[in-house]
Amino acid sequence: MTDAAKRIAGVVLAGGRSARFGSDKADALYRGRTLIDWSIAALEPHCEAIFVSGRDHPALTGVADRPKSGLGPLGGLAGAMQAAEASGFTHILSLPCDTPEVPSSLLERLVLVDGAYVTSCPVIGIWPTRLGESLEAWLAGDHPRAVRAWAEAHDFAAIDAEPILNINQVVDLP
C-alpha cells in the first residue's frame, strides 16, 4: 500500500467503567482540559476523522463496541475499525481517553507503518481496518481480550516509547 492510498481515522477508546478512578475519568480535568479532549487533540493532526468509542461526544461520531459491550478496549477497537472501514479509511489510530500528553512524535512514528502498538501501552496503536471483522471473530471466540495478545497474534510491530502518563486513579492527576 502506498502512503497516498493510506487513509487514517482516529479513535478515542472511552468506554471503560473507570472503576479505579471512582467517576467518569474521560470527563476529569487535567491541566484545564478534560482527559478525552487531550486524546482528541493528540489525534487531530494525524487523522482525517475521529471516532469516540463507548460514549457519546457532542462533536464526534460515536461507535459501539463490537461484537458487544463489556469486552474492554478490543471491543471498542473492533467497532471503530469497522466504522472506519465503512467510511473508506484504511487504518485506525487508537488512543485511550486517559493518556494526556501523548507525544506527537510517537503518533508520527505509528502512522508510518501498517500495524503497530506501543509496548508500554498497547491500546495506543495503528491498525488496518480490513482486520475489523477478524478482530470481532477473535472476541467472539475463546481468545484473550488483551490488545497485546491480539497484536502479537498478528505480528504487529511493538514500538518502544518513553513512559506515557496514564491516569487510572484520581491521585494520578497533578
The domain segmentation of the chain, as residue ranges, is 3-165
What's the CATH number for 3-165?
3.90.550.10
Phi, psi (5° rounding) for residue 130?
-60, -15
Asked whether the whole model's pTM tops 0.85, one would answer yes
In residues, how long is the chain? 174
CA–CA–CA angle 158, 96, 82 (5° rounding): 80
* pLDDT class of 2 with cuts at 50, 70, 90: very low
DSSP codes joined into one string, 58-101: SSSEEE--SS-SSSTHHHHHHHHHHHHHHTT-SEEEEEETT-TT
Could you report the per-residue pLDDT of 20-34, keeping only the tens digit for each?
555 578 888 899 999
Mean pLDDT (whole number) for 9-14: 96
Phi then psi dihedrals of residue 121, to 5 deg: -150, 80
Contacts of 38 (CB under 8 A, 6+ apart): 30, 99, 100, 101, 102
**Digit-coded pLDDT (tens) for 50-78:** 999 988 888 999 999 999 988 999 999 99
Report the distance separating Cα 155 and Cα 133, nearest Å: 17
